[in-house]
């Protein structure tokens, strides 16, 4: 049975600010802090437990796979979304057209732009579906925009890419953890683990469909990309791992030790419950903004961006309210550790 959000939050979070900035970085649960501390202390003591636990990394892979509705064999682990994007970018032939949304997050776009020999084309988010054409090889887009929380119609874009024989990469960093998300329809998805998934920097997730796995060359392959890891430490590996594990990077163990209890917490509560909680708080904030005469960027998600209020951020932080400024707007984001009192405190400060 899903736990009430408030019960889980009381037990797991100890932040001292009104923290409304998960879209930048999530708050670590107490259990994740304890896992990091345990590993760091073992490393400092020079005992084998400080080397990091590959079994724990495997459990993280399985937990993330469950969250996004795919088999664990479709999940590769890394350290940054841009690294996963770079792997996809290297798979494209010279001259291939990549379609991106205007103003999307840099890690989604730059791996394709810096190649220099790809045709990278941009379209407004709302017109992305119509912009897919017969020459499009790949569409790369965030499920939820980092800057202002706008959501793309993923099903419509996927239908368009299928109709034109194009592949699709979805950055789910601002979605997975609060928004129910199914990775199975897409060739590739990339997700940073340090925001809505409540982990630390250094954990990231790539999903690759079984059909698309042959399109990628594991150019970053180290010993962890081998089928038999401990038999592949020296010399050329005898065999690449089956499935997406062949695209793994050597894990940043501190981040993955933190990720296991964080993902377990989200699973215990249930993403549907987190989604209902987060969006209810965001709706309360939007209603309050309307009473104050402010117009946020339209949407119904957990990220709320208000144009023209970016300069209010420093004063809010001085008052103990953490938000962020993005492209001239004040961005607030609401997650499972937030309460109605947090929303009201922010509205009072803005009034």
In the predicted model, is pLDDT for residue 2 greater than 60?
A: no
Q: What is the pTM of this model?
A: 0.95
Instruction: Place 5 in a pLDDT band, splitting at 50, 70 and 90.
Output: confident
What is residue 217's three-state secondary structure?
A: coil
Q: How many Cβ atoms sit within 10 Å of the Cβ of residue 230? A: 8
d(CA 28, CA 48): 25
d(CA 187, CA 177): 20
5-28+270-350: what fold?
A: 3.90.1150
Mean pLDDT of 222-230: 92
d(CA 40, CA 138): 41
Query: What Å distances lie between residue 297 and 103, 126, 141, 149, 239, CA to CA?
Result: 14, 13, 19, 8, 50
Least confident of 1-15, 17-31, 76-90, 172-186: 1-15
Q: How many Cβ atoms sit within 10 Å of the Cβ of residue 348? A: 11
Q: What is the pLDDT of residues 93-114, one digit of tens each?
A: 999 999 999 999 999 999 999 9
So what's the pLDDT on residue 93?
97
Within this chain, domains 5-28+270-350 and 45-267 share the same CATH topology: no
Q: How many Cβ atoms sit within 10 Å of the Cβ of residue 5? A: 22
d(CA 76, CA 249): 8
In the predicted model, is pLDDT for residue 1 greater than 50?
A: no
Mean pLDDT of 42-49: 95
So what's the pLDDT on residue 9?
75
- Tokens 């129910």, residue located: 180
So what's the pLDDT on residue 107?
96
Q: Please, which residues bridge with residue 208 across strands? A: 188
Tell me the residue ranges of DSSP E strands in the chain: 18-19, 75-78, 97-101, 119-123, 136-142, 167-171, 188-192, 204-208, 303-307, 321-322, 324-326, 329-333
Q: What is the pLDDT of residues 115-159, one digit of tens each?
A: 999 999 999 999 999 999 999 999 999 999 999 999 999 999 999
In the predicted model, is pLDDT for residue 182 greater than 80?
A: yes
Query: What Å distances lie between residue 291 and 57, 154, 295, CA to CA?
Result: 47, 32, 10
In the predicted model, is pLDDT for residue 11 greater than 90?
A: no
Q: What is the pLDDT of residues 268-323, one digit of tens each?
A: 999 999 999 999 999 999 999 999 999 999 999 999 999 999 999 999 999 999 99
Q: How many Cβ atoms sit within 10 Å of the Cβ of residue 24? A: 15
So what's the pLDDT on residue 10?
75
Q: Does domain 45-267 have CATH number 3.40.640.10?
A: yes
Element of type H or E holding 80? none
Give the residue extent of every domain in the chain: 5-28+270-350, 45-267
Mean pLDDT of the chain, nearest integer: 96
Q: What is the pLDDT of residues 310-319, one digit of tens each?
A: 999 999 999 9
């Amino acid at each position: 049975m899903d736990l009430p959000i408030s019960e889980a939050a009381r037990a797991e979070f100890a932040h001292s600010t009104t923290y409304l900035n998960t879209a930048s970085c999530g708050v670590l649960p107490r259990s994740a802090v304890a896992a990091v501390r345990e590993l760091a202390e073992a490393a400092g003591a020079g005992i084998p437990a400080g080397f990091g636990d590959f079994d724990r990394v495997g459990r993280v892979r399985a937990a993330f796979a469950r969250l996004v509705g795919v088999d664990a064999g479709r999940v590769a682990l890394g350290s940054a979304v841009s690294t996963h994007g770079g792997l996809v970018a290297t798979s494209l032939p010279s001259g291939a057209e990549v379609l991106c949304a205007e103003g999307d997050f840099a890690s989604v776009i730059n791996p394709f732009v810096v190649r220099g020999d790809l045709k990278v084309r941009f379209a407004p988010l709302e017109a992305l579906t119509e912009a897919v054409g017969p020459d499009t090889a790949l569409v790369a887009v965030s499920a939820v925009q980092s800057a202002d929380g706008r959501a793309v119609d993923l099903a419509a874009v996927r239908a368009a890419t299928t109709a034109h024989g194009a592949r699709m990469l979805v950055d789910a960093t601002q979605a997975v953890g609060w928004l129910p998300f199914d990775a199975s329809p897409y060739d590739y998805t990339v997700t940073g683990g340090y925001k809505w998934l409540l982990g630390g920097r250094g954990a990231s997730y790539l999903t690759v469909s079984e059909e698309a796995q042959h399109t990628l060359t594991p150019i970053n392959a180290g010993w962890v990309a081998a089928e038999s890891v401990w038999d592949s430490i020296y010399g050329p590996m005898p065999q690449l791992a089956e499935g997406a594990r062949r695209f793994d990077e050597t894990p940043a163990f501190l981040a993955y030790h933190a990720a296991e209890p964080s993902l377990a917490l989200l699973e215990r509560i249930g993403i549907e419950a987190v989604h209902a909680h987060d969006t209810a708080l965001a709706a309360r904030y939007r209603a309050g903004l309307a009473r104050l005469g402010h117009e946020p960027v339209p949407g119904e998600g957990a990220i709320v961006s208000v144009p023209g209020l970016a300069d209010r951020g420093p004063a809010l932080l001085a008052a103990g309210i953490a938000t962020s400024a993005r492209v001239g707007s004040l961005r607030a984001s609401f997650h499972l550790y937030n309460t109605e009192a947090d929303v009201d405190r922010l509205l009072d400060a803005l009034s």
